[in-house]
Amino acid sequence: MNYARMVIEKEAPEEYGYDRIRYNLSESSIADQKLSDIGLSLPDLTLFYGEHRGDKELRALIAAQDEGISPDDVLVTAGAAGALFIISTSLLSERDHLVVVRPNYATSIETPKAIGCAISYADLDFDEGFAIDVARVAAAVRPNTRLISVTCPHNPTGTMMARSDLDALVALAESRNCHLLVDETYRDLSYGKRLPSAASLSPSAISVSSLSKAFGIPGIRIGWLVTRNAELQERFLAAKEQIGICGSVIDESIARGMLERRDAFLAALLPDMARRRDIVQAWIDREKLVDWVRPEGGVVGFPRLNVDAGFDLDRFYINLLERHGTYVGPGHWFDMPKRFFRVGFGWPKEAELRGGLDAISAALRA
């Protein structure tokens, strides 16, 4: 493994220093929750080794979200990042090939790069609404393709594929004897009809999610992967055991409590996130130098700056941060041009969101 630090992590706000940022629009989750915010307190737990697959009741709560999924199909991991690492290192080698839809979550690209496998990209296009092109994905598949990697709702654009596209990707993986990986971290933050978990549709599909983004508790590092392929599940379990044996019983207890409150939590959250999305939309409607594809899920969007070729993008980002105290996720975090940036509208307070958007407008004209 030839590890290299991911740019998105090197430049993360926690690395730069939260105290140096006034308007943090770079985060890709809802606001961080306290135990008291979600009505939880820590019980007097015995701190033993937990179940290797993850707490049985927690896995049952995860499985209950989709028909056709059982607790035995679920493996609890150290966040979605841990799930993605296990999947890549279990399925890919230097002899294998990956097809990844880009832009994508950095771990989905950087871990395969560290492994040394061949990678083909199916790039999304702003002018096509960042819509996935299944034919473009199919054309990239090779005889040694082991994995097709997508996210839905998409990070960083917030777009969603149609059910027909999801079905087509599942059929593609089945016909080419490879696996479809769908990062579904934002699925609970779908503003329209929520797609089924890909893993519920076929043993060739693997679903990944977590409690970090949609539930605002990244500090407990709880994610999961789901597959109905028993042989593959056993291989993933072996990887988890070799990395860390099991998860934290404290983290899994908190996660169980959160998912027991899932429906009520999301019922209160979704209208607020939709309203915040509308705040960004209203700003973009009056800001002629910025455009976006309106997100259909999640709490991020990926606007494009409508500036000429001579515009100094590096100076723009420096001024935005140093003079206006505003931090966004520049396009290079996602192997995209710097005229794109990720804006998070779920994490900041409403006044901070509005202040950050106004700061972007000011920095564009500095």
pLDDT in tens, 230-249: 999 999 999 999 999 999 99
Q: Give CATH 3.90.1150.10 domain extents, the chain.
A: 7-33+263-364
CATH topology for the 7-33+263-364 domain? Aspartate Aminotransferase, domain 1 (3.90.1150)
Count CB-CB contacts under 10 A for residue 195: 20
CA 315 vs CA 94, 144, 285, 288, 290: distances in Å: 39, 43, 25, 20, 17
pLDDT-based confidence at residue 207 (cuts at 50, 70, 90) = very high
As a whole number of angstroms, the distance between CA 271 and CA 252 comes to 28
Architecture of domain 44-261: 3-Layer(aba) Sandwich (3.40)
252-306 residue pLDDT tens: 999 999 999 999 999 999 999 999 999 999 999 999 999 999 999 999 999 999 9
Q: Where in the chain is the domain with CATH 3.40.640.10?
A: 44-261
- For tokens 């920095």, the residue is 363
- The rounded distance, in Å, linking the Cα atoms of 112 and 126 is 25
Helices (H), the chain: 7-10, 13-16, 56-63, 79-91, 107-115, 134-140, 163-175, 230-244, 249-260, 262-286, 313-322, 350-364
Question: Residue range 324-337: average pLDDT?
Answer: 94
Residue 6 pLDDT grade (very low, low, confident, very high; cuts 50, 70, 90) = confident
Q: How far is CA 229 from the centre of its chain?
A: 23
Give phi and psi for 206, each to the nearest 5: -125, 130
Query: pLDDT tens for residues 76-108?
Result: 999 999 999 999 999 999 999 999 999 998 889
Look-up of token digits 């082991």: 146
Tokens found for residue 296: 């259909």
